[in-house]
């Protein structure tokens, strides 16, 4: 029996080696033709296949959907009291439902998603990372002092009852006695993004929070038990993004502050603080539509480039897409039930020229597609 065992091990080792040495470009081409379930199965073959599968799964844009009950009882827009039970895979145009929805999906507030991980905030202001496909949970240090919250307890109505520290930090904000999940995102934590995703031992990652009405940025490195509040010079901020070991923060005055983040010891180093000239084309467009629209800004990393996305949002839009002002709504012609409160009607995209330190307008995204919003903005291949 011992001889057979040794012989079997000798025959298995070369086979495993052949799988690991499969040409990367060819392997990636094959994996790009697999659906989600097939990729999950292929990941178990060997280390190299597992790494590639992890990369592809985390890069697929997923839409987290409300529960079936929520959709049946309403329009699915109120996500304050119910949870999320399904994920829409845009690559396959298919819904994947969770057989057993974790309690975190209904009891906690989702404050961000990044690199295939979700970020939740539970009672007592304790955040954690959660991977819905691996069912892995990583506890993070409390953010009670960071947010100025002494108590955050969920009541029977699904809202969070709040109590504040008697400090200057807490007095800067509205002191709600209770708030919904949506209000938590609006007032306390606006964005949560990973600098690096956790490795197999759940180490060597970093998480960044944009919080307190977008006025503060905090950083946590794995292995530490605290949050570091970054020295921010131009709050409030429109967006933040991690690229490599660097954090970029875009402020309302079109400045970008850059910090180098270290996951090993949690150190933070300020690298630059540059105010860029706002693109003339977008400024001209805004001036022509100032009474009927607003702008929102995003940072996106795409193929090594840093992109600046300007989103034009109509305050009120008619059914045929016509932009309306508040005055128009009072007229008889526009007093129509099919008037939307707002609608995105235009995007401008620019690329950073690091040598000239200016934004360069882009005419096309090529084979890329951009996903922007309250969570980490991402760039993916348009041929999903």
Q: In which element (H, E) is residue 191 found?
A: strand 189-196
pLDDT value at position 349? Answer: 97
Neighbours of 337 (CB within 10 A): 5
pLDDT value at position 306? Answer: 94
Going by their DSSP bridges, the two strands 316-317 and 305-314 should be labelled as unpaired
pLDDT value at position 40? Answer: 84
In sequence order, the β-bridge partners of residue 297 are: 310
Cα 337 to Cα 34, 291, 319, 325, 344, distances in angstroms:
45, 21, 9, 16, 19
- HEC per residue, 20-88: HCCCHHHHHHHHCCCCHHHHHHHCCCCHHHHHHHHHHHHHCCEEEEECHHHHHHCCCCCCCCCCEEEEE
pLDDT value at position 72? Answer: 54
pLDDT value at position 96? Answer: 81
pLDDT value at position 350? Answer: 97
pLDDT value at position 248? Answer: 95
> What letter would DSSP give residue 159?
P
- Write the Ramachandran bin of 56: left for phi over 0, alpha for psi from -120 to 50, otherwise beta: alpha
Residues sharing a CB contact under 8 Å with residue 185, sequence separation 6 or more, in sequence order: 109, 111, 374
* CATH code 1.20.1280 region(s) in the chain: 18-59
Give ∠ CA 24-26-29 in degrees, rounded to 5. Answer: 110
pLDDT value at position 49? Answer: 87
Q: Which two tokens stand for residue 59?
A: 């890069």
Edge-to-edge strand order for the sheet containing 149-154? Answer: 149-154, 160-164, 178-179
pLDDT tens, the chain, 384 aa long: 444 444 444 444 444 557 777 788 888 888 888 888 888 888 888 888 888 888 787 777 788 876 655 555 554 445 444 556 678 888 788 888 776 667 777 778 889 999 889 999 988 899 999 988 788 899 999 999 999 998 898 888 878 899 988 765 544 556 778 888 888 888 899 999 999 888 777 788 999 999 999 999 999 999 899 999 999 899 999 999 998 889 999 998 889 999 999 887 888 999 999 888 899 999 999 898 888 888 999 999 998 899 999 999 988 887 777 788 777 766 645 455 566 777 888 999 999 998 888 999 999 999 899 999 888 898 988 765
Question: In CATH, what number does 18-59 get?
Answer: 1.20.1280
pLDDT value at position 75? Answer: 46
**How far apart are alpha carbons 258 and 240 in whole angstroms?**
10
């Amino acid at each position: 029996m011992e001889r057979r065992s040794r012989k079997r091990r000798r025959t298995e080792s070369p086979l495993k080696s052949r799988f690991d040495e499969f040409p990367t470009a060819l392997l990636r081409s094959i994996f790009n033709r697999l659906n989600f379930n097939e990729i999950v199965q292929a990941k178990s073959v060997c280390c190299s296949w597992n790494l590639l599968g992890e990369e592809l799964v985390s890069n697929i844009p997923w839409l987290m959907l409300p529960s079936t009950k929520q959709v049946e009882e309403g329009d699915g827009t109120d996500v304050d009291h119910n949870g999320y039970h399904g994920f829409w895979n845009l690559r396959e145009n298919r819904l994947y439902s969770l057989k057993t929805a974790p309690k975190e999906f209904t009891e906690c507030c989702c404050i961000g998603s990044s690199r295939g991980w979700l970020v939740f905030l539970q009672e007592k202001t304790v955040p954690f990372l959660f991977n819905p496909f691996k069912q892995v949970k990583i506890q993070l240090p409390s953010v009670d002092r960071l947010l100025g919250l002494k108590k955050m307890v969920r009541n029977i109505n699904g809202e969070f009852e709040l109590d504040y520290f008697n400090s200057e930090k807490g007095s800067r904000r509205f002191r709600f006695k209770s708030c919904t999940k949506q209000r938590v995102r609006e007032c306390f934590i606006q964005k949560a993004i990973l600098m690096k995703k956790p490795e197999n031992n759940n180490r060597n990652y970093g998480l960044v929070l944009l919080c307190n009405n977008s006025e503060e940025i905090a950083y946590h490195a794995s292995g530490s038990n605290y949050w570091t509040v970054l020295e921010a010079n131009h709050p409030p901020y429109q967006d933040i993004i991690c690229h490599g070991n660097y954090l970029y923060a875009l402020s309302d005055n079109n400045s970008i502050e850059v910090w180098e983040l270290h996951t090993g010891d949690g150190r933070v180093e300020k690298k630059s603080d540059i105010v860029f000239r706002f693109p003339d084309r977008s400024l001209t467009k805004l001036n022509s539509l100032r009474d009927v629209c607003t702008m929102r800004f995003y940072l996106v990393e795409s193929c090594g480039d840093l992109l600046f996305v300007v989103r034009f949002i109509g305050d009120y839009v008619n059914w045929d897409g016509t932009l309306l002002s508040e005055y128009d709504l009072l007229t008889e012609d526009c007093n129509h039930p099919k008037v939307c409160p707002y609608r995105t009607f235009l995007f401008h995209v620019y690329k950073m020229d690091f040598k000239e330190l200016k934004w360069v307008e882009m005419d096309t995204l090529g084979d890329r597609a951009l996903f922007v919003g309250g969570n980490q903005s991402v760039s993916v291949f348009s041929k999903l």
